[in-house]
Amino acid sequence: MGTEVKAVVGTNAWGDALYGKMLRGSYVEEDVIRAAVQTAIDEDIAMFDTARDYGLGKGQPMVGRLCGKNTLISAKYTPGTKYKAGQVRASFEKDLHDFGRESVDVYWLHLPNSIQENLSEMIELYREGKIRHIGVSNFNLEECKLARQILLDAGIDLYGVQNHFSLLDRKWEKEGLVRWCRENGISFWAWAVLEEGMLVPPKKTEKKTIMKILFGRKRRKLYPLYRVMREIGKTHHLSIPQVAMCYVSSKGIVPVCGCRKSYQVKELAEAVKVPLGAEELEKLEKAADKTGVKILGADMFRFAVKKGDRETRYKDLTIREFTKAADVYESGHAGIYEMCKDDYPFIAGELAKEKYTDLLDCGCGTGPMISLLYEEDPAKHYTGLDITPRMIEVAKAKNLTGVSWVVGDCENLPFEDNMFDAVICSNSFHHYPNPQKFFDSVQRVLRPGGRLILQDYTAPGPILWLMNHTEMPLANLIGHGDVGAYSLDEVRDFCRKSSLQVEKLESGKKFRLHLVARKKKT
């Protein structure tokens, strides 16, 4: 499955009678939808897209009843703003019960909340054979890149992106997301291709829906666009709604269109078989832009994305900062990042005191420290982890045999317990909003007797206060993700709470903090 999916039947209006009337103006009996399912099978577009809340919760069980084993199912997990371990699996098991199946064909993370944590659960389900393909929905370009890197680190590629796209709203094309998907062999699915009926010309006797009531005035501005669509449709024997569908498929995008009746399925199947030419596409886009009309908006679900909290704000700043810095990070002209090199001799000196086999570099950037260690001893196993996907892309381009590069969060290390002999962290710790989480996570992944070697900022009391209350807030204003520096006593307390034994903790020149802490031997 992949490029052969040309069109998808949406099921948002299946199920609840009142919901169907509000959304589509009428309720459709189950036997009518059953006939539409058979038409989709006959037309070879039997992929059905659903979600737990469709039809006020009644749509998904209907998909299970009506869509037999010779159909494909695309389902979603919609995360809230707070993550709870096991939430994806619990929801997914309910989905399987609704469908009466042992697996689903595509499973989408429906919002970019707790991306690492939620995708980690989906990866487990994929490895169990319960999910055939993993996609993301309502993600922007940077969030898609992050999600893809997380999956690639697990040996899985991102199947698809499902976002809003229509003739009236081409944001994701303009911002490069559609091109990025095309270049990386990732399927782009478009929902609300007909803008909830607004790209369907009004009929004299049509039934009212919420969308038609809300956007009735805007609809009148679309009449000039309807005329252009009708003109192009006549050339290809297509109706105006089919031109809207055909426009999307001609862009190499998979249209997801709500269908409850057989004739709607047939119209969708016919539309995606017709390729529009470049001149026709341009003519449609010019007419659409001239109306100035926006209906749903590509970001209509961003209100449900976790934002504004301290942790997310700092991590977003860090990713943006180091995405810009990645390509010059080891150039010798990296500005303030050049000071990181001062930490390498201390870290290398401490590592040389004891034998080790497996090493993790937290906040590895483009991997300069690992490169130095690899050059000295390529037989050891090195893992570099960084929250910024672009940093990891640059690191991977070094092609260091046997080195693992992972996109991830240093406060929630995505590794098994007791996995590393040594964890190093150079000039990254002051970017972590929850420092105790970092120490707890390090303690978990270290083997008994393993060491944490950390270099970062510290300073005497008054200077430390100025750093945290003046310098770092100013850095945030110019786009840096600095969070805070800590006193020696605070770092000692972090170690104590995570059961790490401090062996060396001191301040050095240029306000440098040197820490060596060990996990207790069993």
State residue 2's pLDDT score: 43
Q: Are residues 299 and 329 in the same domain?
A: no
Last residue of a domain, one of 303, 336, 359: 303
Reported as a single tens digit per residue, the pLDDT across 123-152 is: 999 999 999 999 999 999 989 998 999 999
Integer CA distances (angstroms), 167 to 33, 161, 242, 266, 447, in order:
27, 18, 12, 21, 56
CATH of the domain at 244: 3.20.20.100
Task: Pick the closest to residue 112 from 136, 131, 141 (CA basis).
Answer: 136
Instruction: Please tell me whether residues 409 and 382 are part of one structural domain.
Output: yes
Domain contains 428: yes
Domain count, the chain: 2
Residue 468 is part of a domain; what is its CATH number?
3.40.50.150
Asked if residue 495 is part of any domain, the answer here is yes
State whether 184 and 232 are in the same domain. Answer: yes
* 3-class SS string, 360-399: EEECCCCCHHHHHHHHHCCCCEEEEEECCHHHHHHHHCCC
Percent of the chain that is helix, strand, coil (3-state, to 5): 45, 20, 35
- Tell me what pLDDT residue 263 has: 97
On whether both 335 and 482 belong to a single domain, the answer is yes
In a domain, 3, yes or no: no
Residues 352, 345: contact at Cβ < 8 Å?
A: no
Which pLDDT does position 197 carry in this prediction?
85
- Quick check: is 1 in a domain? no
Please name every residue paired with 255 in a beta bridge, in sequence order, or none if there are none: 190
Element (H, E) at 91: helix 87-99
pTM over 0.85: no
pLDDT at 306: 66
Domain boundary among 303, 323, 339: 303
Distance from C-alpha of 284 to C-alpha of 289, rounded to nearest angstrom: 9
Domain limits for position 259: 8-303
Tell me whether strands 72-77 and 104-109 are parallel, antiparallel or unpaired: parallel
**How far is CA 16 from its chain centroid?**
31
Instruction: Give the residue from 274, 303, 332 where a domain finishes.
Output: 303
Note whether 299 and 319 are same-domain residues. no
DSSP-assigned beta bridge partners for residue 133: 106
Residues 6+ apart with CB under 8 A from 292: 221
What per-residue confidence (pLDDT) applies to 3? 40
Q: Where are the alpha helices (DSSP H) in 387-487?
A: 389-396, 435-445, 461-466, 472-477
Q: Answer whether 54's CB lies under 8 Å from 12's CB.
A: yes
Query: Residue 2 domain-assigned?
Result: no
Instruction: Tell me, yes or no, whether 352 and 223 share the same domain.
Output: no
Intervals of the chain under pLDDT 70: 1-3, 19-25, 204-216, 297-298, 302-303, 306-310, 333-339
Report which DSSP code applies to 238. -
Same domain, 427 and 278: no
Residue 440: CB partners within 8 Å, gap ≥ 6? 497, 498
Encode pLDDT of 8-29 as tens digits: 999 988 987 776 666 666 778 9
In this structure, what are the phi and psi dihedrals at residue 323, rounded to the nearest 5 degrees? -65, -40
Residue 121 falls within a domain, yes or no? yes
Same domain (yes/no): 278, 334: no
Same-domain pairing of 293 and 334 = no
Q: Do 110 and 213 have their domain in common?
A: yes
| Contacts with 345 (C-beta within 8 Å, 6 or more apart), sequence order | none
Q: 24-55 pLDDT, tens per residue?
A: 667 789 999 999 999 999 999 999 999 998 88
Same domain, 123 and 195: yes
* Assigned domain for 134 exists: yes
298 and 318 share one domain: no
Any domain includes 285? yes
420-449: pLDDT as tens digits = 999 999 999 999 999 999 999 999 999 999
